[in-house]
A and B are shown apart, each in its own frame.
Chain A
Amino acid sequence: MPVMTYREALRSAMADEMERDESVVILGEDIGVYGGTHLVTDGLLDRFGPKRVIDTPIAEGGFTGAAIGMAMMGMRPIVEMMTWNFSFQAVDQIIQNAAKVRYFSAGQAGVPMVIRGPNGGGVQLSAQHTHSLEGFYGHFPGLKVVSPVTPHDAKGMMLTAIREPNPVIFLEAGALYGTKGEVPEGEALVPFGKARIAREGTDVTLVGYGRQVNMLLRVADRLAEDEISAEVIDLRSIRPFDEQTLVESVRKTHRAVVVQEQWRWYSVASEVAAIIQEQAFDDLDAPVERVSGAEAPAPYARNLEIAAFPNEQQVIDAVNRVLYR
């Protein structure tokens, strides 16, 4: 299998779909001539021309809304948010129009579009440039929300996203654009709504998504040294949500720790904990633990930023609590 970076995997999926389907176009800030702030779209302008790779002014609400209009007409636009932090400028368009127009038009209008870009923090961008928006976007019916962590899933889920007839919020692990992994050639679509068991285990279920999954795999290695067998679930898809894989894992391990970079209140981890207690209450041997970001806007200083995000020790402490160790 070819090895490529997360960034190349995304680009490969978009280029493949643009080759296959002329209705696919890309819009965003500096995605064409500049090649993309994170170089995800590098080279696409030369291949597909300015009518399909559209550099926009810095006006997220305007170009996201325009892309919704294009999608309603049967085009399949991909909107790049330079970072998801800027999507707040476009929230009215995403939620009030993209997520709802199918419903309030009784199915007469549809919005087959993808909004993608880097999500999450970790590179000292401080308060306004650091958010994990899975729970926020996951709240709204009408949107699909995914958060792949491997290059394999980045490509496979992007292929699926572009072919989706619904608006997709595609939250990329921005800190991982350079990480490499095996990516199958061709149309290896990864479906939405299917979690991935990143590592099998029997003693405790660790649940995460995005870059937290890599941390959970490292935690699982450390726990193995103490002869604790941890199962790691990569949710991949926030909405639709794979309840079955989660619940089956907890029925096996009887314990769960949910980890997320985002703030705890009204978050994905809260939803996961609720699903487990609703569907596997009798199987639980301990309350579900949540490990989340610190309840403060993201700080700048390196030491503060590190303290603001979940770390391996916090997860191990939580595992010890659910194992009553």
Chain B
Amino acid sequence: MATTKSQSPRRKASSQDDGPVAATKTRAKKGPGTSSPSRNGAAPLTLDTETTLDLYRKMNVIRSFEDAAQRGFRQGKIGGYLHLYSGQEAVATGLLSFYQDTDKIITAYRDHAHALLLGSHPNEVMAELYGKGTGLVKGKGGSMHLFDVENGLWGGYGIVGGHIPLGVGMAYALRYQETDGIVQLYLGDGAIHNGAFHEAANLAGLWGRDGMNPTLFILENNNYGMGTSVDRATAMTDLSAKFDSYGIEHEDVDGMDLFAVLEVAERATKRVRETGAPYAIEAMTYRIAPHGAADFLERYRTKEEIAEWRKRDPIGLVEARLLESGVAEATLDEIKTEARAVVDEAVKFAEESPDPALEELYTDVYDEGERG
């Protein structure tokens, strides 16, 4: 069983050499070696092979999708900003495995995977990146603003930290309206230094005392807020401990290990659903991709670091598990080929789709509907 890292005992600065958090974590030296599943204490989850293969397929679709998006960006077919999820697949794949129809999902701009996992059609997601009228939001939002509210995706926001208060308010509404839904609120490590996080987390903790805030915070710590590493952004590098300030319990998970994520996700979603109180998961992960597709990635991290993390590629880890359990390599190759085919079709659809109608420029600025 995983150990829950709760609010207490409070960690105190013990020695200047080690820094305030060295006793529990060595974040400054964080790398693949320090974020092994055993650190989390998660017992291997028992999943049947069919389910594992399905998740493996989803992760491959995401990776292929991001690879194709990167190509489209380099070819000049995708404009604006493009933030890829490659390397972080296990986090959303694991968490969204426990999505229920009454739940609401909100995230920042690295949002392609969330849309795909919730059931948005890859064609429409790719068409949105291409700025086409057939896109998920009719070509009005682009990569950073994916919405598919019928499938539970409430965006897709471009300002770091800015969506966090929204998620907390959404969670209040879910309880006010007496549903059993929860909000999965994704944020990156860069967002945790923003005031919006602190104001919103405070409200979540406060409202959660009365069971009015079923927010599951998912802190996707890929160690870089754009090009600035966690230890260059804060003196208190144990990021999830920041939730302590607001009375929100939390735990860490190895975000490269799908099985570890699944184990935590099952328990955490159940807990938030039952209590109506917020909870936080810090998933230690790594984006293999640049921050944005036009990033200077080698200015702020080394080739060696990337290579080290690639050894713990979340898809590779699932693959190893599947091979271990006797699945034939040919089966896995077939899934990869299928994933590429899904994405090839999405690219074709996007390329052949029409631009948005010019009239769309002025639609959806205001709701012109009847007043309630």
Within the assembled complex, what's the spacing in Å between the Cα atoms of A164 and B370?
9
- Across the two chains, which residue of chain A brings its CB closest to B153? A108
Within the assembled complex, what's the spacing in Å between the Cα atoms of A61 and B363?
28
Asked if A196 is at the interface (CB within 8 A of a chain B CB), the reply is no
Contact B165 A64 (CB under 8 A): yes
List residues of chain A with CB within 8 A of the CB of B372.
Answer: 21, 76, 112, 163, 165
Contact B149 A62 (CB under 8 A): no
List residues of chain B with CB within 8 A of the CB of A110.
Answer: 367
- Across the two chains, which residue of chain A brings its CB closest to B171? A69
Asked if A127 is at the interface (CB within 8 A of a chain B CB), the reply is no
Give how many B residues have a beta carbon under 8 Å from the other chain's beta carbons.
49
Contact A166 B367 (CB under 8 A): yes
Asked if A72 is at the interface (CB within 8 A of a chain B CB), the reply is yes
A residues 97-117 in Cβ contact with B at 8 Å: 97, 101-110, 112
B216 CB to nearest chain A CB (Å): 15
Contact A93 B162 (CB under 8 A): yes
1/0 per position for B124-163, CB-CB distance to A under 8 A?
0000000000001110110001011100001111110011
Contact A68 B169 (CB under 8 A): yes
Binds A, one of B39-47, B172-180, B253-261, B325-333: B172-180
Within the assembled complex, what's the spacing in Å between the Cα atoms of A74 and B181?
14
Asked if B202 is at the interface (CB within 8 A of a chain A CB), the reply is yes
List residues of chain B with CB within 8 A of the CB of A314.
Answer: none
List residues of chain A with CB within 8 A of the CB of B177.
Answer: 73-75
Binds A, one of B55-63, B193-201, B296-304, B344-352: B193-201
Contact B170 A69 (CB under 8 A): yes
Asked if A186 is at the interface (CB within 8 A of a chain B CB), the reply is no
Within the assembled complex, what's the spacing in Å between the Cα atoms of A59 and B206?
13
B208 CB to nearest chain A CB (Å): 13
Asked if B188 is at the interface (CB within 8 A of a chain A CB), the reply is no
Contact of A97 among B148, B162, B172 (CB under 8 A): B162
Contact B367 A51 (CB under 8 A): no
Asked if A198 is at the interface (CB within 8 A of a chain B CB), the reply is no
Asked if B168 is at the interface (CB within 8 A of a chain A CB), the reply is yes
Asked if B17 is at the interface (CB within 8 A of a chain A CB), the reply is no
A67 CB to nearest chain B CB (Å): 6
Asked if B306 is at the interface (CB within 8 A of a chain A CB), the reply is no
Within the assembled complex, what's the spacing in Å between the Cα atoms of A164 and B114?
31
A183 CB to nearest chain B CB (Å): 20
Contact A97 B163 (CB under 8 A): yes
B371 CB to nearest chain A CB (Å): 4
A237 CB to nearest chain B CB (Å): 13
B329 CB to nearest chain A CB (Å): 42
* Residue with the highest number of chain A CB atoms closer than 10 Å, among B164, B168, B169: B169
- Across the two chains, which residue of chain B brings its CB closest to A113? B169
Contact B170 A63 (CB under 8 A): no
A-B interface pairs (CB < 8 A), number: 153
- Across the two chains, which residue of chain B brings its CB closest to A73? B173
Contact B366 A97 (CB under 8 A): no
B298 CB to nearest chain A CB (Å): 32
Asked if B9 is at the interface (CB within 8 A of a chain A CB), the reply is no
B63 CB to nearest chain A CB (Å): 26
- Across the two chains, which residue of chain B brings its CB closest to A107? B364
Asked if A37 is at the interface (CB within 8 A of a chain B CB), the reply is no
Asked if A142 is at the interface (CB within 8 A of a chain B CB), the reply is yes
Within the assembled complex, what's the spacing in Å between the Cα atoms of A38 and B366?
31
Contact B166 A96 (CB under 8 A): no
Within the assembled complex, what's the spacing in Å between the Cα atoms of A320 and B365?
42
Within the assembled complex, what's the spacing in Å between the Cα atoms of A163 and B369?
11
Contact B174 A73 (CB under 8 A): yes
Within the assembled complex, what's the spacing in Å between the Cα atoms of A248 and B148?
46
Contact B165 A105 (CB under 8 A): no
Given contacts A65-B165, A103-B365, A104-B145, contact A59 B173 (CB under 8 A): no
List residues of chain A with CB within 8 A of the CB of B149.
Answer: 105, 108-109
Within the assembled complex, what's the spacing in Å between the Cα atoms of A92 and B195?
11
Asked if A66 is at the interface (CB within 8 A of a chain B CB), the reply is yes
Asked if B314 is at the interface (CB within 8 A of a chain A CB), the reply is no
List residues of chain B with CB within 8 A of the CB of A76.
Answer: 372
Asked if B281 is at the interface (CB within 8 A of a chain A CB), the reply is no
Contact of A106 among B147, B167, B198, B200 (CB under 8 A): B147
List residues of chain B with CB within 8 A of the CB of A92.
Answer: 159, 162, 196
Contact A104 B137 (CB under 8 A): yes
Asked if A178 is at the interface (CB within 8 A of a chain B CB), the reply is no
B94 CB to nearest chain A CB (Å): 24
Asked if A56 is at the interface (CB within 8 A of a chain B CB), the reply is yes
Asked if A2 is at the interface (CB within 8 A of a chain B CB), the reply is no
A residues 28-81 in Cβ contact with B at 8 Å: 51, 56-57, 59, 61-77
Q: A65-B164, A69-B167 are in contact. List 19 more A-B contacts (CB 8 A).
A: A51-B212, A61-B165, A62-B199, A65-B162, A68-B166, A69-B166, A69-B171, A73-B173, A93-B165, A96-B158, A96-B162, A97-B163, A103-B365, A104-B147, A108-B137, A108-B148, A112-B367, A160-B371, A163-B371
Nearest first, the 9 closest Cβ-Cβ pairs linking A and B are A65-B165, A62-B199, A69-B169, A66-B169, A73-B173, A165-B367, A69-B166, A105-B147, A104-B141
Chain A to chain B contacts (Cβ below 8 Å), 6 pairs: A59-B202, A69-B169, A92-B196, A105-B137, A106-B140, A165-B367
B interface list, Cβ under 8 A from A: 104, 106, 136-138, 140-141, 145, 147-149, 154-159, 162-174, 176-177, 195-196, 198-200, 202-203, 206, 212, 363-367, 369, 371-372
